[in-house]
């Protein structure tokens, strides 16, 4: 798809033009969207009271490199969602993106709290400031998108799908910004273990490489930790997305299915359409299989749906065909 920029009496405008999957004809979507991003970043000053004091608003600047990163990367995330899906902020109608940095002390995490983004500075050993890592910013803001769309319940299989959508959109945004490379499939590599080169928090092309994630549905975690394994079983869907994008087989030969490569752009369109049109709050992996196959059919036709089915079969999620 292409972004068409022009000006009318209201000022600079931007429309998204997609090629119709069947006819190839250009179709302008969301021509009504003329909104721009609106960001606010706050300093929690190592406390836990939110949001803290305002340090930068839209169009402004700050000397604080962490606050500046939170601001800039919220902007990249907004631009990714607008350019890729014609989506105007996390709620689809221009909501202000609020972010707080310097949350708590030695805090090794970041999160979306239902209303805003919150970033720790890490402890300098396991992690450096999370707001400087684009994967983290897209991941957390995608939790907001999911909240407004499928509203996937944050436990068990629906929770693992919720987590995977956040990782998947982080990868897609990385490709949007930087092109596809091996780093596309690494998550939070910029902030994770600053003293260790070339590692990452998670690995989409080979999820078990992190020592905790799972990559094969029949072996999925069914215990109580981590809300029923939301950050563990997400690897199963992450790997399905990787295989649909890049093609190939299960990295540990759990199955022998060869998945055709659609490329990350089409794979991301398929998963986004599944998230926004078909998944409901208690969706399972089998529901995700069917939702992505349906979305693939509508966007790109029968061969893409076959590829989507193959991707889920490759990670052991049952279903027909």
Which stretches of the chain bind ligand ASN, using CB under 6 A?
Answer: 109-111, 139-140, 143, 163
- Nearest CB to ligand ASN, comparing residues 68 and 139: 139
Question: According to the binding rule CB under 5 A, does residue 116 interact with Zn ion?
Answer: no
110 binds, among Zn ion, ligand ASN, none (CB under 5 to 8 A by kind): ligand ASN
Q: Which residues contact 76 (CB under 8 A, 6 or more apart)?
A: 134, 137, 138, 173, 177
Q: Given the DSSP bridges, would you call strands 2-8 and 11-19 parallel, antiparallel or unpaired?
A: antiparallel
Q: Which residue is nearest to ligand ASN (CB)?
A: 111
Least Å from the CB of residue 110 to ligand ASN: 5
Q: Which residues contact 25 (CB under 8 A, 6 or more apart)?
A: 19
Select the residue interacting with Zn ion from 89, 128, 157, 166 (CB under 5 A). 166
Least Å from the CB of residue 301 to ligand ASN: 34
Binding segment for Zn ion among 5-13, 162-170, 177-185, 276-284 (CB under 5 A)?
Answer: 162-170
Least Å from the CB of residue 140 to ligand ASN: 6
- Nearest CB to ligand ASN, comparing residues 140 and 149: 140
Q: Which residues are catalytic?
A: 140, 231
Least Å from the CB of residue 218 to ligand ASN: 24
Structure tokens given for 92: 């689809």
Q: Which helix or strand (DSSP H or E) is residue 313 part of?
A: helix 302-314
Say whether 203 sits in a helix, a strand or coil: strand
> In angstroms, rounded to a whole number, what is the distance separating the alpha carbons of residues 143 and 258?
31
Say if CB 98 and CB 81 are below 8 A apart.
no
Q: Given the DSSP bridges, would you call strands 117-119 and 97-101 parallel, antiparallel or unpaired?
A: parallel
Name the one residue in this structure whose structure tokens are 């049952």: 318
135 binds, among ligand ASN, Zn ion, none (CB under 5 to 8 A by kind): none
Chain contacts with Zn ion (rule: CB under 5 A): 166
């Amino acid at each position: 798809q292409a972004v068409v920029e022009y000006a009318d009496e209201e000022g600079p405008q931007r429309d998204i033009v997609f090629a119709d999957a069947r006819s190839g004809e250009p179709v302008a979507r969301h021509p009504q969207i003329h909104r721009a991003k609106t960001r606010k970043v706050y300093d929690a000053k190592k406390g836990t009271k939110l949001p803290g004091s305002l340090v930068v608003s839209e169009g402004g600047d700050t000397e604080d490199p962490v606050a500046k990163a939170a601001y800039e990367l919220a902007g990249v995330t907004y631009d990714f969602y607008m350019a890729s899906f014609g989506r105007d902020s996390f709620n689809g109608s221009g909501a202000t993106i609020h972010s707080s940095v310097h949350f708590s002390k030695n805090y090794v995490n970041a999160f979306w709290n239902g209303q805003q983004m919150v970033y720790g500075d890490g402890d300098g050993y396991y992690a450096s400031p999370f707001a400087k890592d684009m994967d983290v910013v897209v991941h957390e803001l995608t939790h907001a998108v999911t909240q407004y769309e499928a509203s996937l319940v944050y436990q068990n299989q629906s929770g693992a799908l919720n987590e995977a959508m956040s990782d998947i959109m982080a990868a897609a945004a990385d490709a949007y910004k930087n092109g596809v490379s091996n780093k596309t499939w690494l998550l939070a590599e910029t902030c994770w273990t600053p003293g260790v080169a070339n590692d990452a928090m998670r690995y989409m092309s080979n999820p078990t490489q992190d020592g905790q994630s799972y990559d094969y549905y029949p072996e999925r975690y069914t215990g109580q930790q981590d809300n029923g394994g939301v950050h563990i079983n997400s690897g199963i869907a992450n790997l399905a997305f990787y295989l649909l994008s890049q093609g190939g087989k299960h990295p540990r030969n759990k199955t022998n299915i060869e998945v055709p490569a659609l490329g990350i752009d089409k794979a991301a369109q398929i998963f986004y359409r599944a998230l926004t049109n078909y998944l409901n709050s208690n969706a399972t992996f089998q529901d995700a299989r069917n939702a992505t196959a349906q979305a693939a059919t509508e966007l790109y036709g029968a061969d893409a749906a076959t590829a989507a089915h193959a991707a889920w079969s490759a990670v052991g999620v049952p279903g027909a065909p």
